[in-house]
Amino acid sequence: MKAKEKIKHPTQTIPVRKGQTYHIWIDRLGTSGEGVGRYENFTVFVPNALPGENISVLIEEVKSSYARGHVKEILHTSPERVAPLCEIYDECGGCQLQHLSYDAQLDAKRAQVADALTHIGKLLQIPVKETMRAEQPWNYRNKMQFPIGVNKGKIMVGCFAQGSHKIINTENCHIQHTANNDLANAVRAIAEKLHIPIYNEDTHKGILRHIVGRVGRNNDLMAVIVTATKQLPRAKDFVRMLRERLPNLVSVHQNIQTYRNNVIMGRDTQLLWGRSTIIDSLGRLNFHISPRSFFQVNTRQAERLYEQALAYADLHGTETVIDAYCGTGTITLFLAQKARKVYGIEIVQPAILDARKNARDNHVKNAEFIVGDATDVMPALYKQGVRPDVVVVDPPRAGCTETVLRTFANMKPQRIVYVSCNPATLARDLAILKGVGYITQEVQPVDLFPHTSHVECLTKLVRRDLL
């Protein structure tokens, strides 16, 4: 018997070549804000290109199923193209959509969510509402994390260039709170004046690595100086000069990050001057923010996000709620205002300690915070007789495992409110929840990060047998 011959499948002919220029029409935006078009039915990704534009693109990278290139010339311009506000926008990797009008950004983010539901989740005819716009789409970030480096003898403080570790000197980031920009500029000048060595990630020598700024209520400013050494030379002078330049400064910390990696902050933090925390507010709730605390970077939009989560939860004061990825308890405490009892679950113990402190500070007595994996904690609560009416989930970008989703469903809540920062994993998880008896009623995109490609989503699901 003859051995079976290998069947040869025809391979797709790649119609583009690296270093060559082609004319293509852009059809849509990709998940990272780049333009996506096709040349002879072959996908091409082009940063800074917009839907509806005909461009001349120089191909820089070719893979088996797609290519990447950059715009050489715009032959037909989208009416939604605008001049970026930022002078370093073309170099910087912090924003991806400043060249697109704000209304069109909102439309694109809604389309991204709808496309993910249709093509990834195979969920058809799910109502996706218009993206909730930001009333203040500029200078909204209350937290800054800028690397510090040296280029040709000059100290650089700012954002990384897109896809690299090259620091773009940033004096006026238009999405940062102005107080954070003032801090970055002050640190650059002070480091130069005091001749403090700047950290080099290649040689692992030097001292100053990052500057972290956080702005709270009443524009109170916290500065965190991240160093590669335990000692900060001339620390007292550094603090004094910061205070002289920054009238809103109320807190200065040193964070020590000695490891040779890309993690911004280390485990050890010491207070150099002022308060140990600053305070910010979400609705009627106040939160103490320490150097490493999690807090939404867009306070006003976070309030609107949580208000919508509360509306989807549809609480009347008699319900039991589980917040399965509670972090420092921000959503949990919002829910506690309308629920009978709320359980917050989080695997990271320091976050739970912050959550408990936040509950005490806000005099919330009907919230209980538990350290552990939701997959383990929720069945244990069920055995104890806890029967949640509502489950709220706000997972990381990777979404939930199927085991976690089935754990939610096994507790048979009437409603699930899913908060997501990644439309692709949201769509995947909603499809799984559909298979275990939960129907997606609607999705509300929220623009927490204007001028970037990121979109946050809120989803309301109801148990099928209740419809």
169 pLDDT more than 90: yes
Which SS3 state, helix, strand or coil, does residue 466 take?
Answer: helix
Distance of alpha carbon 266 from alpha carbon 209, whole angstroms: 11
Q: Is 421 a catalytic residue?
A: yes
Residue 210 has a pLDDT of 98
Burial state string for 369-380 with b = 16 or more CB within 10 A and e = fewer than 16: bbbeebbebbee
Active-site residue identified among 92, 95, 421, 457: 421
376 pLDDT more than 90: yes
Per-domain residue ranges of the chain:
20-76, 118-134+298-466, 143-279
Residue 222 has a pLDDT of 98
Given a contact cutoff of 8 angstroms between Cβ atoms, the answer to whether 221 and 249 are in contact is: yes
Same fold? 20-76, 143-279: yes
Look up tokens 């839907």; give the residue: 51
- The set of residues, in sequence order, having a beta carbon less than 8 Å from that of 244 and lying 6+ positions away, is none
**pLDDT mean across residues, the chain:** 94
Lowest mean pLDDT among 116-120, 289-293, 387-391: 289-293
Residue 12 has a pLDDT of 62
- The proportion of the chain whose per-residue pLDDT surpasses 90, expressed as a percent, equals 92
Q: How far is CA 328 from CA 96, 292, 346, 390, 439, in A?
A: 29, 11, 8, 19, 29
Residue 7 has a pLDDT of 44
Given a contact cutoff of 8 angstroms between Cβ atoms, the answer to whether 429 and 400 are in contact is: yes
Largest Cα–Cα distance in the chain? 89
Question: HSE of 341 in the Cβ direction (CA atoms, 13 Å)?
Answer: 9
Q: What are phi and psi of 170, to 5 degrees?
A: -125, 110
DSSP 372-403: S-HHHHHHHHHHTT---SEEEE---TT---HH
Q: What are phi and psi of 344, to 5 degrees?
A: -105, 130
95 pLDDT more than 50: yes
Q: Identify the helix (H) or strand (E) that includes residue 417.
A: strand 415-420
Residue 171 has a pLDDT of 96
Whose CA is closest to 183, among 218, 151, 217, 142? Answer: 142
Distance of alpha carbon 175 from alpha carbon 148, whole angstroms: 19
The 3-state DSSP composition of the chain as helix, strand, coil percent (nearest 5) reads 25, 30, 40
Distance of alpha carbon 237 from alpha carbon 349, whole angstroms: 36
Enumerate the β-bridge partners of residue 459. Answer: 418, 443
Instruction: Looking at 150-280, list the stretches that DSSP marks H as alpha helix, in order from N- to C-terminal side.
Output: 178-194, 235-245
Q: Taken in order 145, 149, 152, 154, is the CA torsion positive or negative?
A: positive
CATH ID of 118-134+298-466, from 3.40.50.150, 2.40.50.140, 3.40.50.300, 3.30.70.100: 3.40.50.150
Q: What DSSP character marks residue 264? A: S
Residue 293 has a pLDDT of 87
296 in a known ligand binding site: yes
For residue 459, the tally of other CB atoms under 10 A from its CB is: 27
394 in a known ligand binding site: yes
The model's pLDDT over 14-64, given as tens digits with 9 standing for 90+, comes to 999 999 999 999 999 999 999 999 999 999 999 999 999 999 999 999 999
- The set of residues, in sequence order, having a beta carbon less than 8 Å from that of 299 and lying 6+ positions away, is 142, 280, 281, 282
What predicted TM-score, i.e. pTM, was given to this entire model? 0.92
Instruction: Looking at 126-197, list the stretches that DSSP marks H as alpha helix, in order from N- to C-terminal side.
Output: 178-194
149 pLDDT more than 80: yes
Average pLDDT of the segment spanning 329-358: 94
CATH ID of 143-279, from 2.40.50.1070, 3.40.50.300, 2.60.40.1180, 3.10.20.590: 2.40.50.1070
**Tokens matching residue 380:** 């244990």
Given a contact cutoff of 8 angstroms between Cβ atoms, the answer to whether 175 and 166 are in contact is: no
325 in a known ligand binding site: yes
Residue 11 has a pLDDT of 56
Residue 1 has a pLDDT of 41
Residue 241 has a pLDDT of 98
Residue 9 has a pLDDT of 46
Distance of alpha carbon 126 from alpha carbon 344, whole angstroms: 29
CATH ID of 20-76, from 3.40.830.10, 1.10.10.10, 2.40.50.140, 3.60.21.10: 2.40.50.140
User: What are the start-end ranges of the E strands in 20-160?
Assistant: 21-29, 35-39, 42-46, 54-62, 66-76, 143-151, 154-160
Whose CA is closest to 442, among 120, 119, 133, 117? Answer: 117
Residue 2 has a pLDDT of 43
Look up tokens 């020598």; give the residue: 205
